[in-house]
Amino acid sequence: MSNNNKLNRRDFLKILGSTAATTAGVALTSCKPKNNTDIESTVSGEVPTDMMTYRTNAHNDKVSILGYGLMRLPTIDRTDEIDQEMVNRQIDYAIEHGMNFFDTAPTYCKGKSETATGIALSRYSRDKYFISTKLSNFSPTKWSREESLNMYHTSLKNLQVEYLDYLLLHSVGSPAKDINGNLLTGLETFEARYINNGVLDYLLSERKKGRIRNLGFSYHGDPVVFDYLMSQHDTIKWDFVLIQLNYVDWRHATEINKRNTNAEYLYGELEKRNIPVLVMEPLLGGRLANMSEYAVRLMKQAEPEMSVASWAFRFAGSHPRILAVLSGMTYMEHLQENIRTFSPLKPLNDEEFEMLEKIANNYVKYKLIPCTSCQYCMPCPYGLDIPTIFQHYNKCINEGIVNEDVNDSEFRKARRAFLIGYDRKVEKLRQADHCIGCKECQHHCPQSIEIPNEMHKIDNYVKILKNSMF
């Protein structure tokens, strides 16, 4: 970034203003956030109760365009125990303010999300909400018909419902190892998980019976699999598809990660077939809530009162085939800020689309690790906090404090900021130097990140910093 595009720290913080409180905490990395029981917003302004934007599908479901992603739920005292009282309060708040779409999965929050979600939503009549969950048979030990169907029926039980509004085949397109340790392609993995065992046929029969109202899939990875599933649409009749969509991935997904697919292509193919679209990663794992000074300057010049994160949400919602934009909202202030953005949604105009594309072009110049903090790599058998390590590294790149030039006048300052932040965010025993390269995490990553290589790169950088004595 040129010096002309930089702000001094005082001016930068002034420009951020009240948005800092909401954007800084969006990129949470687990179901273990610090407890926050204050339901009052930290952001000024009224939260509307009757202005939510809705989209309608072929079944006449009137869906709130802001969907509640329940991957990262509040916990008690930084443990794995779900704070059910807070979950109830936040879901109550969401419903009171017009939200009705709730998305979970058997794997979320170490298997606890569905149960917590079921407890919270069971207090409402069934017509007050739409529930979305997934067949998350990631492990090859769960690929059998018996195990897969058991997962499906367990979801119904945990959610305390007799039918599912939306069921997804989870993470279609990702390669995986079979039970013998053989690495399968994305298409081979799909066939093993859903076709050869007759599971997809069973789910189609459940849809016919009304126990599944909408059947779709979430997509990661191999475009061959996506194109194949599109070719089967006339037979299967996909009711919706969940894709990763944001203003960076729209045209630059493959630049960030060659194993990803540009969202513009995915959306276009779904639009051709009139298939409703659900959006995941509208903030790209929180990274689009913590942007460079250059990006913030452009955004604040266009809309001084609008948060950095809200631009990403507006981008996703501005496409007409989008049924709902999913957001993981661990804290009440995140929920309140996002409700404001979609109550009502103000679609982007042409100039604003152009501005975000300009920001995206600048963003891809930085060699960020394409981690979205999805947690599928966790737990690490050696205790590493993989998502938080990546989050800290990416944040430092965005802030321009990753610097290996010991002769640079800013090196000392960058060194101190990186190391102090690293130790504060990641426990010593969970840092990158404890990675042994076992690759247990790598095959679970939807972004196909070569995690051990990235860990060793970060560890080497930390060693450079620590060995630089002044």
**Residue pLDDT, tens place only, 230-267:** 999 999 999 999 999 999 999 999 988 888 899 999 99
Nearest by Cα to 104 from 164, 22, 26:
164
Q: How confident is the model at residue 469 (pLDDT cuts 50, 70, 90)?
A: low
- Residue 26: the pLDDT is 36
- Alpha-carbon distance of 72 to 54, in angstroms, equals 24
- Alpha-carbon distance of 236 to 445, in angstroms, equals 27
Q: For the residues 268-287, what does the mean pLDDT come to?
A: 95
Among residues 329, 363, 397, the one where a domain terminates is 363
331 and 455: one domain? Answer: no
Whether pLDDT at 25 is above 50: no
pLDDT, greater one: 415 or 98: 98
- Residue 470: the pLDDT is 54
240 in any annotated domain: yes
The domain that holds 359 is classified in CATH as: 3.20.20.100
Q: Specify whether the CB–CB gap between 137 and 193 falls below 8 A.
A: yes
Whether pLDDT at 430 is above 90: yes
Q: How confident is the model at residue 7 (pLDDT cuts 50, 70, 90)?
A: very low
Q: For the residues 191-204, what does the mean pLDDT come to?
A: 98
Judged by average pLDDT, the poorest of 41-50, 216-225, 302-311, 362-371 is: 41-50
373 in any annotated domain: no
13 in any annotated domain: no
Q: Which residues pair with residue 82 across a beta bridge? A: 75
Element (H, E) at 86: helix 84-96
pLDDT, greater one: 450 or 114: 114
- Alpha-carbon distance of 243 to 235, in angstroms, equals 21
Give residue 40's domain range.
Answer: 31-363
206 and 267: one domain? Answer: yes
- Alpha-carbon distance of 133 to 161, in angstroms, equals 12
Among residues 306, 332, 363, the one where a domain terminates is 363
281 and 406: one domain? Answer: no
DSSP H helices in 232-305:
233-236, 249-256, 263-272, 293-302
- Residue 436: the pLDDT is 87
- Alpha-carbon distance of 213 to 55, in angstroms, equals 17
271 in any annotated domain: yes
Judged by average pLDDT, the poorest of 230-239, 392-401, 433-442 is: 392-401
20 in any annotated domain: no
106 in any annotated domain: yes
140 and 201: one domain? Answer: yes
Question: 439 by DSSP, 3-state: which?
Answer: coil
Non-local (6+) Cβ contacts of 197 within 8 A are 143, 144, 145, 148
**Residue pLDDT, tens place only, 308-355:** 999 999 999 999 999 999 999 989 999 999 999 999 999 999 999 999
Give me the number of domains the chain comprises.
2
pLDDT, greater one: 26 or 331: 331
Among residues 299, 328, 363, the one where a domain terminates is 363
353 and 407: one domain? Answer: no
321-342 exposure pattern, b = at least 16 Cβ within 10 A, e = fewer: bbbbbbbbbbbbbbbbbbbbbb
Judged by average pLDDT, the poorest of 90-94, 245-249, 367-371 is: 367-371
